[in-house]
Amino acid sequence: MSRFRGSVEQPHAEQFIVGRVPSEVPLPAGRNEKPDREASAFSVAAVAGTPETSLHVFSTNPGIWDTTSASPADKNIFSAAAGVGRAKREKQNGHRARIIWLTGLSASGKTTIARALEQRLFELGCHTAVLDGDNLRHGLCADLGFSREDRQENIRRVGEVARLFLDTGTIAISAFISPYAADRDNIRKHVGDGDFIEVYVKCSLAECERRDPKGLYRKARAGLITGFTGLDDPFEPPAAPELVLDTEALTVNETVKIILEYLDNTGEPSGNIDGNCSSAVLTTETL
């Protein structure tokens, strides 16, 4: 059965937000002893549902601290098994969890597509979360700049957050320039087969400069911003992405339709689950 054509209505589509951990939530033992750069804790709260469904998640994934060795810097930190596994959550949600990673130049259309996709999936009763580059730099990654090292750390953190959502049975939609191929490949390497969907939001530099909704290209050309991706810092296009969306040729609705069709065709998880994430036939008219 297609993950997007189920028979059971989903009364409340659960969404998640990433934010700061409330002061009343105690940190795990020894957590506040780590350097600030390694002390990223993630609070995940259920927006829809009962208080019992609300949870605060701290990453216990072995790869969170050191993506090279995939083990924590402190050898006294151990992984904790989930009380409710991903398979059970996917069965309840009625769809497979995925990471949909939108990468492309600034102004290529990543956030616009992410929000439109989120809205459509929400309407279909799917459990979703959008991770947006600008938003996370106001909180989780506020301490990072735009050097190569900081950009790599930014994407590493986001990758770990996306993996947390994956474990909760959620479709995590990530919209980041993520200019370096190695950083994107590292996330793919650390998630299961078929869980990472790399979407290249393709748009020429000239068109991105023409759009320039935030005025960033104009500032970069004037020398007010340095290290700007596409101008004086490289963007490495994906070599073999799952999808390529040319936003100079496609409308927003058309890009969403392409992604939904990809999910529909590849969304069958291992095991048998009855789909709750129901939809009409995916046509431009229904989008």
Q: Which residues are catalytic?
A: 178
- What contacts 24+ positions apart, CB below 8 Å, involve 203-208? 203/104, 203/105, 203/107, 203/108, 203/109, 203/246, 203/247, 203/248, 204/248, 205/105, 205/230, 205/231, 207/248, 208/105, 208/106, 208/107, 208/108
* Cα–Cα distance measured from residue 187 to residue 249, given in angstroms and rounded to the nearest whole number: 29
Do residues 124 and 248 touch, judged by C-beta distance below 8 A?
A: no
Phi, psi of 175 (to 5 degrees): -120, 100
Please list, in sequence order, all residues whose beta carbon lies within 8 angstroms of the beta carbon of residue 119, skipping any fewer than 6 positions away: none
What residues are paired with 93 via a beta bridge? none
Give the closest residue to 201 by CA, choosing from 117, 80, 90, 134: 117
Give the closest residue to 246 by CA, choosing from 188, 199, 212: 199
| Pair of tokens at residue 194 | 């078929």
Q: At what angle do helices 148-167 and 181-189 cross, to 10 degrees?
A: 30
What residues are paired with 175 via a beta bridge? 102, 132
| Sequence-ordered alpha helix ranges (H) in 172-247 | 181-189, 205-211, 216-221
| Pair of tokens at residue 245 | 């969306």
DSSP character at residue 165: H
